[in-house]
Amino acid sequence: MSINIPFDNTYATLPPEFYARQAPVPVQHPQLIRFNTALASELGIDGGVSDELATIFAGNALPKGAFPLAQAYAGHQFGGFSPQLGDGRAVLLGEIVDPNGHRRDIQLKGSGPTPFSRNGDGRAWLGPVLREYVVSEAMHALGIPTTRALAATLTGEMVFRQQGGLPGAVLARVASSHIRVGTFQYFAARQHIEGLRQLFEYTRARHYPDTKTPGDFLRAVIARQAHLVARWMAVGFIHGVMNTDNSAISGETIDYGPCAFMDSYHPVTVFSSIDRQGRYAYDNQREVIVWNMAQLASALIPMTPDEDAAVIDFTKAVHAMPAMIDAEWLTAFAPKIGVTHADETDRSLINDLLSIMQDGRADFTNTFRALGSPGARDQFVNPEVFDVWDTRWRARIKKENGWQERMKTANPAFIPRNHRIEQMIQSAVAGDYAPFERLLQVLSMPYSDQPGAEDLQAPPAPHEVVQQTFCGT
């Protein structure tokens, strides 16, 4: 049966300044690694699993109705502005409207060079493709807004990086859209006011139809971003490269390059090999997202009828964001200690736990999961310090009903631990995809106890610790 992807492309109707027409570059020997049949069904894609999938999702054949293009955007990268970025190793095949009426992009990542490649080869190697597949699907299972992985395909070609020759691969990614803060910056930097207006109207209608003005739109985006980053922090996630071109207007997690989950808790944890100053460290994410929203606000100002009034209005919206993030943070962390409606006393209780976790080198995920059981104190080098906190917490939790079940649904038992991801990649490079499949299966039920998977809960042994993660370009 031939695969049917019901394309309904709207981004392609925008003026040519928004993108470059670009077909994927065919590869030598496409071989499907995995196809996400559950997601395909959710999207309304028919056809089942067949050899045809490899040719489509490696970029060798275009399905009917596809309109491949590379999107243009700009962005602040580690604080420095690049006026010309764009999809340098990805093409948007097109959009579909799923059976629930939600519009989604289908993009091929690692599909070859585009006009925005800046002398790059436009390819991806197997490691980053599998990392994004596993981590994005894990984030979805954790209940955090994210892009999804539809397929991973080998190219049969080698990709050359600093490590030498590596097996090439392509990821088929699904997103509510790939419009970024940097997309707005692209037009603002060129003083292309008409393009900015067109982008605003298109994005508003697609993602925030209840908004009317740029100010309403900005506040709606800010609210989603505050929610997103608070949820990252509640599971110990570090994006690693929160450039404005990696901030999706939809409020989804996008671009899983040097991302990582913390093992032992520390607020300034950094894994990204390119984040040498710690700009995007775990606790800094709440400040960086405010900075990113300030850049969005600046990009929106030129299209407003009264720029002076817009500056005052937008500044107020951005300055309100830290308090919004604090509120979202408390909402995300309260159920992690069993609390339904948290107040400032509960915030102090949570922060005190994090402080002793930092001092005691406690594992972030396992400590929260173990609260209320004897195993919690075993997470600490000096458990007596935890005992003092535990006494306070138990006095507080007596006021809550159903706290045990609340905590089990807020504290995952399983996360994509860095050392397991690296082991999975090494096995896959050697041709063994069993660890990849096992991670996907276990991480699809992160809040469930899974007998036989205890090894995936364990922090890394000293020789397994991953010090750095890499973006894969």
The 3 state secondary structure assigned to 202-244 is HHHHHHCCCCCCHHHHHHHHHHHHHHHHHHHHHCCEECCCCCH
Give the length of the chain: 473
Catalytic residue among 245, 255, 275, 313: 245
Per-residue pLDDT 10s for the chain (473 aa) are: 478 899 999 999 999 999 999 999 999 999 999 999 999 999 999 877 778 999 999 999 999 999 999 999 999 999 999 999 999 999 999 999 999 999 999 999 999 999 999 889 999 999 999 999 999 999 999 999 999 999 999 999 999 988 889 999 999 999 999 999 999 999 999 999 999 999 999 999 999 999 999 999 999 999 999 999 999 999 999 999 999 999 999 999 999 999 999 999 999 999 988 898 999 999 999 999 999 999 999 999 999 999 999 999 999 999 999 999 999 999 999 999 999 999 999 999 999 999 999 999 999 999 999 999 989 999 999 999 999 999 999 999 999 999 999 999 999 999 999 999 999 999 999 999 999 999 999 999 999 999 999 999 999 999 999 888 887 65
For the beta carbon of residue 29, count every other beta carbon within 10 angstroms: 11
Distance between CA 154 and CA 432 in Å, rounded?
Answer: 13
Residue-level pLDDT at 471: 74
Question: Is 0.85 surpassed by the pTM of this model?
Answer: yes
User: Domain extents for the chain?
Assistant: 11-175, 184-251+262-318
Q: What is the DSSP string of 292-339?
A: HHHHHHHHHGGGSS-HHHHHHHHHHHHHTHHHHHHHHHHHHHGGGGT-
Using alpha carbons only, how large is the chain's radius of gyration in Å?
22
**Known catalytic residue: 87?**
no
Side chain identity at residue 263, one-letter code = D
- Backbone φ and ψ of 151, nearest 5°: -160, 150
Distance between CA 70 and CA 110 in Å, rounded?
Answer: 12
- Backbone φ and ψ of 175, nearest 5°: -145, 155
State the Cα torsion 344-350-352-355 to the nearest 10°: -130
Phi/psi region, residue 75 (left: phi>0; alpha: psi -120 to 50; beta: rest), is left
Distance between CA 310 and CA 316 in Å, rounded?
Answer: 10
State the Cα torsion 249-253-257-260 to the nearest 10°: 150
Residue-level pLDDT at 473: 55
Distance between CA 240 and CA 257 in Å, rounded?
Answer: 7
With the C-alpha atoms ordered 292, 293, 298, 302, is the resulting torsion angle positive or negative? positive
- Of 399, 388, 400, nearest to 353 by C-alpha is 388
**What burial letters (b/e) apply to 167-201, b meaning 16+ CB within 10 Å?**
bbbbbbbbbbbbbbbbbbbbbbbeebeebbebbbe
Distance between CA 444 and CA 457 in Å, rounded?
Answer: 14
Q: Which residue has the tokens 């049949």?
A: 37
Q: What is the DSSP string of 352-413?
A: HHHHHHHHTT-BHHHHHHHTTSGGGGGGSSSHHHHHHHHHHHHHHHTT-SSHHHHHHTTS-S
Q: What one-character DSSP code corresponds to residue 263?
A: S
Residue-level pLDDT at 137: 98
Residue-level pLDDT at 309: 98
State the Cα torsion 339-343-348-350 to the nearest 10°: 20
Residue-level pLDDT at 472: 65
Phi/psi region, residue 361 (left: phi>0; alpha: psi -120 to 50; beta: rest), is left
- Of 30, 26, 12, nearest to 113 by C-alpha is 26
